[in-house]
Amino acid sequence: MNTIKAYYLYPDIQCLTAKIINIYGEYIELDSTIAFPEGGGQEGDHGEMCLKNDPSIKINFIDTQLIETSKINNINYPDCKIGGKIIHKIFSEDLYLLNKFTTGDEVIITINTDRRNLLTQSHSATHVMYMAIDLLKSDIVTHILGCHIKPQGGRLDFLTDYRFSQEEIKIIEEKANSIILDNIPTPIEVDPKYPDVRYWICGDYKIPCGGTHTKNTGEIPLIKISRKSIGAGKERVLFQWK
């Protein structure tokens, strides 16, 4: 059974009543969750669950993962994965608490909203940094190797021999911060056929992305951009909060 992605249905709620579907190893699977699982470079949410009928019984989770997704059999949706089960990882020192939880129990799940808000800002900032790089050097952005979005910043890795100069990094930073200051609305478009397929929209940009985002660029703090050498044929551009 696929987990209901309540983080899409109710993006602003901080707690949810859900049912335990399975407990295996160090993971708890729920029938629905507000915890965003690691994906698209964004780290998974942290939070806490307590038994609905005895809130004094609680357990923390320190990661959220999406497993057993399905591929869409349609060439118009390359690399799109939908459905899947969402599992919440328990801190190894808390594993002894798992025997207080049973399949079928109702729990109230809350997420660490401070951390989620930072991840959301960081995620949107990564898109804005991408736009700023694209405006300066559009041939680079077609070769993205990966990205990592953390609460304190993010990075984009490109498959290229090109090395950005300090002047170019300064131009990218100024452009990114001007996009932030322009407070551009960034609505999410949901695919009518596959609700798990979502697009982040900002001006002329429409980027396929299932992550969590701010509602407009003005909610993103100003960023400081730098570059790093990470080996032959690769270039890393990263940001942290100013």
Residues that bind Zn ion (CB under 5 A): 200, 209, 211
Residue with smallest beta-carbon separation from Zn ion:
209
| Among 28, 136, 166, 143, CA closest to 87 | 28
Supply the minimum distance, in Å, between the C-beta of residue 202 and Zn ion: 10
Supply the minimum distance, in Å, between the C-beta of residue 103 and Zn ion: 34
Supply the minimum distance, in Å, between the C-beta of residue 45 and Zn ion: 15
Kindly compute the dihedral angle of the four CA atoms of residues 89, 60, 107, 65, in this order, to the nearest 10 degrees: -20
Supply the minimum distance, in Å, between the C-beta of residue 165 and Zn ion: 28
**Which residue lies nearer to Zn ion by CB, 37 or 211?**
211
DSSP 138: T
**Which residue lies nearer to Zn ion by CB, 33 or 121?**
121
| Among 67, 24, 74, CA closest to 194 | 74
**Which residue lies nearer to Zn ion by CB, 20 or 123?**
123
Q: How many helices and strands in the chain, by DSSP H and E?
A: 3, 17
Residue 134 φ/ψ region, left for φ over 0, alpha for ψ in the -120 to 50 degree band, beta for the rest: alpha
**Which residue lies nearer to Zn ion by CB, 91 or 205?**
205
| C-alpha span between 189 and 211 (Å, rounded) | 12
Supply the minimum distance, in Å, between the C-beta of residue 99 and Zn ion: 38
**Which residue lies nearer to Zn ion by CB, 105 or 124?**
124
